Structure 1
Amino acid sequence: MDWKKLSTTKITQVYKSIFLNQCYICNAKAQSTLCNSCNEGLPANLNHCQHCKRPTHSADILCGNCQTSRPAYHICVAPYRFEGIIKTLIHSIKFNQGIHYIRPLTHLLSEHLIESYSTDHWPEQLLYVPSHPSRIKERGFCQTKAMTTQLTKDLKERLDKNPPTVPKKNPLKKIKNTLAQHSLSRKERLKSPQSSYQLDGTIAKHVAIFDDVMTTGSTIENCTKLLLKAGAERVDVWVIARTPDKEN
């Protein structure tokens, strides 16, 4: 018997039972990161485009953009709409140092990923969409890097095999410090420079790209094309939330 491993497992169980047995939002007793009431209040992305997961009014359709110009990635996992509690938590992480909310969000995403890949092959490699160095310096950390680290831990605990590997040095780099996407209109986002990112590193055949939120999808599409050009044969997209189109 591996006593060292057993001891570490027991210590982890005790730690979780003492410190992680309450909801991250309302502090009520909870078996997971969120209580049932808060979990039920999350804006689930139920009606969406089959391919890009853009929220729509009807389920199981292909949106106009995907019919006209289908994105290059293979699948997209986007379990929530970027509104309500989800929007509040992500904004808290990015703009108010609310890094403690990373754990419940990545835990929720890991649940949906395990369901999505129950009959599919898991990616070999996991990359994240990085912020520009000046933005990281301003914020104090890169939220997508921190989320990817926690997400990998969540998957490792819950899968019976190793999750996709995360390179020590992320091959994706942002080389142009463009304006923050949340400050731009959809039209302005689509006009953003398409050469804001570059690749520097070894790319696996089957890759997943993680980002916290997908709005127009232009950033993800740019990164996907870079990966495919570098030798990837399949690129999957993992995001926590997808932004609904604004009502006119």
Structure 2
Amino acid sequence: MSPEVYGSHSLRSWPALLRDLPARICAVLLPPRCLLCGEPGDDGRDLCAACHRALPRNHCACPRCAIPLAVPGTCGHCLRKAPPLQATWASFVYAPPVDRLLARYKFHHDLAAGRLLAGLMLPALADAERPQALVPVPLHSSRLRRRGYDQALELARPLARATGLPLAEGVLLRQRRTEAQSELGALARRRNLRGAFVVRGGRPLPAHVALVDDVMTTGATLHAAALALRRAGVARVDAWICARTP
């Protein structure tokens, strides 16, 4: 037997095996368990096959704002007034059971749910035109201190690793503390976000970026962030979001 071969693995493969060892040990000692129903996970995910099939995928949607539609095409609102986003990709409709995963992630400090959601977003992004960088929509520093983590950033990190795209962390800043968007109507949401974002100077920006966020409702937050990036010289801004409200 060749001196470079031990069993079925070459010596050159051992560094990779050792690097993967912690994940392999965790998979044996802590097998995946569905975060929704508690049944054993499927395909290495913390989600069972039945709950995976039940996820409300956003198959037919407006390409500009990702609002779910009955038939393919651009929605009337985007035809009347083009949004600052060139394209929006929403993996799911904000409906059961994905809304439960998002609530666990966003409001109950369940980062495992965030990692699961980021992985589940990837198939829907397969056909998206690749930007030059991913930009997470930031929290204001005061809200970040209270929550302890930025949900958009924690989604963007695994997406950047999986796609090989640069993560432009800290480029976009939320300079003004705003009221919680969930408590406001559509017009108040737009007023609430006016001037909320600013782009940090000193670094050249790529021509095409994609904003990453968890949920899109009226689009006020993403539109305000996109306008700030475009004013700073970005030619095209897309959005990659987990779920879109119908």
Alignment correspondent of 2:214:
212
Q: CA deviation at 1:15?
A: 2.8
Query: Which has more radius of gyration?
Result: 2
Give TM-score, length-normalised by structure 1.
0.85
Indicate yes or no: 2:52 matched with 1:51: no
Contact kept? 1:50, 1:62, Cα under 8 Å: yes
Q: CA deviation at 1:125?
A: 0.9
Contact kept? 1:213, 1:239, Cα under 8 Å: yes
Give TM-score, length-normalised by structure 2.
0.85
Indicate yes or no: 2:172 matched with 1:172: yes
Cα distance in 2, alignment partners of residues 232 and 124 from structure 1: 11
| 114, 135, 149: which one aligns with 1:102 | 114
- Structure with more relative contact order (C-alpha pairs < 8 Å, separation 6 or more): 1
Q: CA deviation at 1:143?
A: 1.4
User: Structure 1: which amino acid aligns with 2:60?
Assistant: N
Q: CA deviation at 1:144?
A: 1.4
Alignment of 1:84-99 (within 5 A): 84-99=96-111
| 73, 77, 96: which one aligns with 2:89 | 77
Q: CA deviation at 1:222?
A: 1.8
Indicate yes or no: 2:135 matched with 1:127: yes
Unmatched tracts of structure 1, length 5 or more: none
Contact kept? 2:217, 2:244, Cα under 8 Å: yes
| 1:59-92 Cα shifts (integer Å, max 9, x gaps) | 2122121011111222211021112222222122
Select between 8-17 and 61-70 the one with higher mean Cα deviation. 8-17
Contact kept? 2:66, 2:88, Cα under 8 Å: yes
Alignment correspondent of 1:185:
185
Unmatched tracts of structure 2, length 5 or more: 1-11
Indicate yes or no: 2:217 matched with 1:242: no
Alignment: residue pair count: 231
% identical equivalent positions = 28
Alignment correspondent of 2:6:
none
User: Structure 2: which amino acid aligns with 1:180?
Assistant: A
Contact kept? 1:213, 1:242, Cα under 8 Å: yes
Select between 130-139 and 94-103 the one with higher mean Cα deviation. 94-103
